Amino acid sequence: MRALGALWRALRLIENLLTGAVVTLAIVLMRTAGLRCSWAPRVVSWWHRRLCRALALHIEYSGAPDRPGLLVANHVSWLDIPVLGARGSIGFLSKDEVRGWPLIGWMSAAAGTLFLKRGAHQSAQTMEQIAARIRSGVSITVFPEGTTSDGSGLLRFHPRLFAVVQQADVPVQPVAIRYGSNSLPDQVAPFVGDDDLLRHVLRLLGHPGLRVQVAFLAPLPTEGIDRRRLSNAARAAIAQRLGIDPAEQPTARGARRGPGAGAASG
């Protein structure tokens, strides 16, 4: 029965990927023809919800985006993106390498993901794009750790990703993501070390009922606060919600560069 359940989840996952490819093609063709796709954010969120159901994730949300702004989240897995995207019209900042991933990169670009290239000039352009997207009414999520970790601690937050606050009146809202519970953190969800996507997906298919807790925390005061202090405040708020000592580092399972951006420092 367990094998049949995993097979059924795999079939649902494949169907959802094919559906996503069809939706992405429709978006690309309409934009090429100069047509608006005002429905795209709602459909992308719907697709994320279907992906979470296909993987049998049990998600508990606390709160919601306060208003369009910069969402700052800890980074444990590629699952963070569909888990947050299922909550509503939320965009993401990703490392530029993701744009070249087969299928995923194409779908991410069509869905409105912003990509961060290396270099200070490129970072400044990206911050302007984030500010414009937020002004249009879409919250943008960044993962300032820049890598995924096993969730047992928090890595340093890169302050440069908070530079958008200095360019525009942008609210900053921390988001805490936990897989499992404080007493029993899930060992399958983290996407770390030398793991690869296919092996990780296969483990998830055989691990139904994964519990995910997502807490949208109170927005942070930003007036008169520089980006380094702001990054530290966001990190402290997430650590408090997760019950983690801010000084605690992830365990020896290590970290890897996940799809979330954060290569910049400073």
Walk me through the domains of the chain, giving residue ranges and CATH numbers.
Answer: 2-242 (3.40.1130)
pLDDT tens digits along 110-122: 898 998 876 555 6
Q: Residue 255 gets which letter from DSSP?
A: -
Q: Residue 1 gets which letter from DSSP?
A: -
Q: Which helix (H) or strand (E) holds 171?
A: none
pLDDT tens digits along 233-256: 999 999 999 998 887 777 544 555
pLDDT at 182: 77
pLDDT of 215 > 90? The answer is: yes
pLDDT at 252: 44
pTM above 0.85, yes or no: yes
What tokens appear for 193 in the block?
């070390």
The CA distances from residue 65 to 70, 71, 133, 167, in Å, are 9, 8, 15, 21
**What percentage of residues in the chain have a pLDDT greater than 90?**
58
Average pLDDT for the chain: 88
pLDDT of 172 > 60? The answer is: yes
**What percentage of residues in the chain have a pLDDT greater than 70?**
92
Q: How many CA atoms lie within 13 A of 259 on its CB side?
A: 23
Q: What is the band of 170 on the pLDDT scale with cuts at 50, 70, 90?
A: confident
pLDDT tens digits along 92-112: 998 888 888 778 888 999 898
First-to-last CA distance in the chain?
Answer: 52
